Chains A and B, each alone.
Chain A
Amino acid sequence: MGDQINLKILLESQGLERSPFPIPTGWFFVDYSDALKAGELRNVTLFGQEWVLFRTESGKPGMSDPYCPHLGAHMGHGGTVCGEHIRCPFHHWEYDTAGWCKNIPYGKVTPPIVKKQAILRTLPMVEKYGMMWAWYHPLCAEPTWELPYIPEMEDPTGYTGSRRGSWTADTCIQEIAENGVDTAHLKFLHGAPMIPPVEATYDGPRMKLDIGKGYIVGDVYGPGLNVMRFNQHGITATMISYTQPISAEKSRMNMSFRHVDYPAGTPELAASKKVIDHMIGAAEGEESAGFESVDFIVWNNKKYRPNPLLCDGDGPVLQFRKWFRQFYTNLDAATLAKI
């Protein structure tokens, strides 16, 4: 008889999970700045839990754990913005955007911890690109890097494009992002005419991607922001992608599409719009398909293989995974074995 068969490879999928990863650390899009007025407060679900998103009277955004440190009332149900603070409906304890308790309207003696540290978990926030961003770290550590300057989003003139969209995927951010280095799937899933060469370089929380020798040049900033520049037909069009981890197994992909503000009727403007159509879905005269038409069926059903069977011609998947691991903190041995 022949050699013993390798049962491990035949049976391994039984123990695999679809998204074995915790929520990664980094800056994440929360909402568009114009969607939250001064004095407004509402509940949002992100990073696997509910948060209370609010904007103070002076315009500062805040995002807090919902449950008052005093007696646990949910501040997103009946709480209010009170000047620069969020106020709990239950006993009117007030907190600033950094989570410090600023008012206990009846206690004479302030509990020492109230003077010593923030007692309400809040997330560091910045407003940039016309959006609110929050820094997520599972153990409340401060941000270790800053969001970049993006001319397409921040220069007052020279760029245009109001097109944007949101898509929900039933998987985690790492699985979505891995497609950026999985070049072979561009040919077989998307129908590109060839497998494009890819170069990925890593620098701390940043990754630079060059797909097809300058055809797509990507700047990745942690798990929550990608800026992909598509150079085609003599123009550059930009996809700014800012995916949110709704939970460990659900992600909302958000994208803004921007291009140079060419005059109406020019071939450059037409080319810019066509490149953007192509990024998203099917575009006339193009052989390959954008992510909307083909990637979701894979993301929404696959399992994650920590020990994939890769062959020559596959992209730098393992290097990408090693880089991405920096965004997970305090992993226990059981989780490490799964990722």
Chain B
Amino acid sequence: MTVVRVKDRAGAERDVEATNGVPLMETLRDAGFGIDGTCGGAMSCGTCHVYIDAAWAPRLPARSADEAAMLEALADFVELRPSSRLSCQIPVDDTLDGLAVEIAPQV
């Protein structure tokens, strides 16, 4: 079981159970955090942007060039942090148990 601590856009925190084997975006979307995931993981919409807890950020797989480009495109609209990620690019498995993320603002 993989439990992820999520801070929503209002600042409230809650634990959700993330499904192993699917991208974190789907769990956040289905749990009602206001994540659209419109493009389905194609890295073309930027609606699943999250900030990863600083301690966790280095433990995730590195950003691809396409993910970095999409994040960069968001910079005109929302704050980017060093730990900004597209949650569609974070595959969930047991090693992420205890991960803490914050939902980034909507563009």
Contacts and interface: CB of A to CB of B under 8 A. Distances in A.
Contacts of B74: 109
A111 B69 CA distance: 9
A91 to B, nearest CB: 14
A111 B70 contact: yes
Contacts of B45: 109, 111
A318 to B, nearest CB: 48
B73 A110 contact: yes
Interface in B53-107: 66, 69-70, 72-74, 76-77, 107
A8 interface: no
A116 B65 CA distance: 12
Contact of A108 (B69, B70, B107): B107
Interface string A90-126: 0000000000000000001111110110000000000
Contact of A113 (B44, B46, B76, B107): B44
A110 B74 CA distance: 9
A108 B77 contact: yes
Contacts of A116: 69
Nearest to A108: B107
Nearest to A112: B69
B50 interface: no
Contacts, number: 27
A146 to B, nearest CB: 35
Nearest to A111: B44
A72 B14 CA distance: 40
Contacts of A108: 77, 107
A112 B43 contact: yes
Contacts of A115: 73
Interface residues of A, number: 8
A119 to B, nearest CB: 10
A187 to B, nearest CB: 62
Contacts of A113: 44, 66, 69
A109 B70 CA distance: 9
Contacts of A109: 45-46, 73-74, 76-77, 107
Contacts of B44: 111-113
A111 B67 CA distance: 11
User: Chain A CB within 10 Å — which of B39, B44, B76, B77 has the most?
Assistant: B44
A237 to B, nearest CB: 57
A113 B72 CA distance: 12
User: Chain B CB within 10 Å — which of A108, A112, A113 has the most?
Assistant: A112
A113 B107 CA distance: 19
A11 B26 CA distance: 60
Contacts of B107: 108-109
A116 B66 CA distance: 10
A112 B77 contact: no
A108 B44 CA distance: 12
Contacts of A112: 43-44, 66, 69-70, 72-73
Nearest to A107: B45
A113 B45 CA distance: 11
Contacts of A110: 73
Nearest to B69: A112
Interface in A297-314: none
Interface of B: 39, 43-46, 66, 69-70, 72-74, 76-77, 107
Given A110-B73, A111-B44, A113-B69, 14 more contacts: A108-B77, A109-B74, A109-B107, A111-B39, A111-B70, A111-B73, A112-B44, A112-B66, A112-B70, A112-B72, A112-B73, A113-B44, A115-B73, A116-B69
13 contacts: A108-B107, A109-B45, A109-B73, A109-B77, A109-B107, A110-B73, A111-B39, A111-B44, A111-B73, A112-B69, A112-B72, A112-B73, A113-B69
